[in-house]
């Protein structure tokens, strides 16, 4: 059984943004020496998330549109309580619809992603520098 942890810093350029971190995942797996196992990507943040989907320009726009609008009906009803302290309740609440970690199988020393699957960091309260942790275990 092998294990390896790797942290990478990801700079986001806008309030909401999608950053493809598939290469960082592949590098973490390659550096681990694990051939068969799992890689867990996680973010130690409450206003961003990770997701797997297709890296297509239109779809990236659609995902940002979805994440930008998913809690709007709630906001229209009444102000968010958390906005009293740091004005980013929408980012916290939107992150609830995504995940702070994603697990990917490893096969043949590579992340087992489908042809159209990429791993993304979804920024909801940028621009910021975010930490993405990769924990790789297996044989
Ligand atoms: Zn906050």
Q: What is the CATH number of the domain that holds 87?
A: 2.60.120.460
- Structural domain span for residue 59: 2-138
Pairing type for strands 118-123 and 17-20 reads antiparallel
Number of structural domains in the chain: 1
Intervals of the chain under pLDDT 70: none
Q: How far, in Å, CA of 40 to CA of 6, rounded?
A: 11
Tokens of 83: 């906005």
CA–centroid distance, residue 40 to ligand 1 (Å): 25
Closest-CA residue to 12 (of 121, 118, 97): 121
Cα 139 to its chain centre, rounded Å, is 25
State the pTM of this model.
Answer: 0.95
Alpha carbon distance 98, 90 (integer Å): 13
Tell me, what's the pLDDT at 21? 98
* CA 83 to ligand 1 center in whole angstroms: 7
Output the CA 47–ligand 1 centroid distance in Å: 8
Calpha distance 41→133 (Å, rounded): 6
């Amino acid at each position: 059984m092998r294990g390896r942890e790797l942290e990478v810093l990801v700079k986001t350029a806008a309030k909401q943004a999608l950053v493809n971190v598939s290469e960082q995942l592949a590098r973490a797996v390659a550096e681990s020496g694990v051939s068969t196992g799992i890689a867990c990507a996680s973010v130690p943040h409450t206003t961003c998330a990770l997701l797997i989907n297709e890296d297509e320009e239109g779809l990236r726009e659609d995902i940002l549109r979805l994440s930008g609008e998913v809690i709007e009906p709630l906001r229209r009803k009444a102000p968010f309580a958390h906005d009293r302290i740091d004005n980013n309740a929408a980012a916290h609440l939107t992150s609830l619809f995504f995940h702070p970690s994603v697990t990917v199988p490893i096969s043949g020393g590579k992340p087992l992603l489908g042809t159209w699957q990429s791993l993304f960091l979804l920024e909801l309260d940028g621009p910021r520098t975010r930490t993405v942790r990769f924990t790789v275990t297996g044989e």
